[in-house]
Amino acid sequence: MSSRRLLLSGMVVALFGSVVLSGCSTFKGSRKIDMAPFSENTGVMFAEAAKVSRPFQFKHLRPYVALPEFQENRKRSEPLLKALRSVVFYSNQVVAIANSRLSAQDKNRQLARYLREVLDTSAGTAFLDSLGLDEASAKTVLQNIRDAKTYLEGIAAAGPIVTAVVVAVQDRLDALQQTVIPAIDAGMDRAIEVDFHDTRTNYMNLKGTQARSMRALNFLYVARMGDRAALDTLLNEDPSVKDFLPSAQKASAKELDAAERYLRDRLAGIDIVIHQLDYDLAAYKAKQDELGAWRIDVDERIKIARNAMAVWAQSHRNLGAGIPVPPLIDVQGITGSLVGSAKNAVF
């Protein structure tokens, strides 16, 4: 278990313990509930976090979306998206319940109901056990919410489950970033390389021949300057020139001219073929560039989701404690800086 999960597990246990041992009497009924900060923060952060569920607009990589690696791993991201949507729905219900004409008891019953739903969507039983918040403990927290005398006390009593939801979502984000995204990335990259293997191989071979031809011409120029040893090196490195220059020691000016024409014609032919490959190479580069852009886009969206959950948890704690203090994380600043590189989003 990571250090982060150990810390958050401790928070769940501590919060649960405080609720069970102290009950709802620790919350003073004289405090007034102020939904404005929570409502505002919820609206701002999840307006941005909701973009996580928007599909990335593939253009060059569209044919690769049908790959098994993409389809199978994309399905693995669906529980995370459902968890995020459930948090949004719960947060909206918290505000709606507060603004309703229901009695405090009925408000807390509804709060417990929606909190149960977000818990079930975000975390499974096994995950709750790993946090030290088993099903029995979760039921106790929910009952404390129902038994609370005021809606504010009910929200405060939800603390252990809110923390568990945050840990569950962060855990899903970790799995997405560490396994799902790399698997899709590797699958697409392999498919691209297979599709363009022949083109890239031909291109590299042509570039190699082009470099050798340029080197051969250089040896000819050096030989014309009087260094006949350069011809020996030329004939050793490029035996095809022997058809025009049989002997390095007895090479005539006419033979040197013929060898030079041969090399120049070869270079011209290579240049033509290389340019014929330009379209395919541009397509290859466009696909690889889009794959890189997708990776960056997903990473940025994951950052948004992580920060949104942190803000949500802090806002929920502030609301339950009757503290109208805005979260310390500037979600608008975070998301504003990502607009240029994280459009149209993600999984």
pLDDT of residue 326: 53
What is the Rg, in whole angstroms, of the alpha carbon atoms belonging to the chain?
33
Cα 91 from chain centroid? 25
| pLDDT tens readout for residues 22-36 | 333 322 334 556 777
Residue 203 pLDDT more than 90?
yes
pLDDT for 50 equals 64
Here the contacts of 85-90 (C-beta below 8 Å, separation 24 or greater) are: 85/53, 86/117, 86/118, 86/121, 86/122, 87/46, 87/118, 87/122, 87/165, 87/169, 87/309, 87/312, 88/42, 88/46, 88/49, 88/50, 89/114, 89/117, 89/118, 90/114, 90/115, 90/117, 90/118
Q: Is the pLDDT of residue 272 over 90?
A: yes
Three-state DSSP at 55 gives strand
- Mention every residue, 6+ apart, whose C-beta is less than 8 A from residue 296: 341, 342
The predicted structure's pLDDT at residue 330: 46
324 pLDDT band, cuts 50/70/90, is: low
Q: In the predicted model, is pLDDT for residue 270 greater than 90?
A: yes
**To the nearest whole percent, how much of the chain has pLDDT over 70?**
78
What's the pLDDT at 129? Answer: 57
Q: Judge whether 251 and 198 are in contact, CB under 8 Å.
A: no
pLDDT band at 343 (very low <50, low <70, confident <90, very high): very low
β-bridge mates for residue 301, sequence order: none
pLDDT of residue 49: 62
Q: Which residue has the tokens 């098994």?
A: 68
Q: Residue type for 210, please?
A: Q
Q: What is the pLDDT of residue 137?
A: 86
pLDDT value for 127 = 58
Summarised one tens digit per residue, pLDDT across range 122-169 is 876 555 555 567 788 889 999 999 999 999 999 999 999 998 899 888
| Residue among 64, 59, 66, 65 at smallest CA distance from 286 | 59
pTM (two decimals): 0.71
Secondary structure class of 1 (helix, strand, coil): coil
Q: Is the pLDDT of residue 101 over 90?
A: yes
Question: Average pLDDT of 74-84?
Answer: 85
Residue 15 has pLDDT above 60, yes or no: no
Q: What is the mean pLDDT of residues 318-340?
A: 53
Yes or no: say if 142 and 133 are a contact pair by the CB < 8 Å rule. Answer: no
What is the per-residue pLDDT for 155? 94
Burial class (CB in 10 A: 0-12, 13-18, 19+), 130: middle
Whether residue 64 contacts residue 188, with contact meaning beta carbons closer than 8 Å, is answered with: yes
Residue 5: the pLDDT is 47
Residue 317 in contact with residue 27, Cβ under 8 Å? no
Q: Is the dihedral of CA 47, 49, 54, 59 positive or negative?
A: positive
Handedness of CA 338, 340, 344, 346 (dihedral sign): negative
Residue type, 101: R
Enter the tokens of residue 121: 């969507």
Q: What pLDDT score was predicted for residue 340?
A: 38
Overall average pLDDT of the 212-227 stretch: 90
Q: Share the mean pLDDT of the chain.
A: 80
Q: How many CB atoms lie within 10 A of CB 273?
A: 13
pLDDT greater than 70 at residue 283: yes
Q: Residue 333 pLDDT more than 80?
A: no
Instruction: Identify the pLDDT of residue 131.
Output: 58
On whether the CB atoms of residues 188 and 26 are closer than 8 A, the answer is no
CA-closest candidate to residue 150, choices 111, 121, 107:
107
pLDDT category of residue 308 using cuts at 50, 70 and 90: confident
**pLDDT value of residue 248:** 79
Check whether 238 has a pLDDT greater than 60: yes
Binned at pLDDT 50, 70 and 90, residue 11 comes out as very low
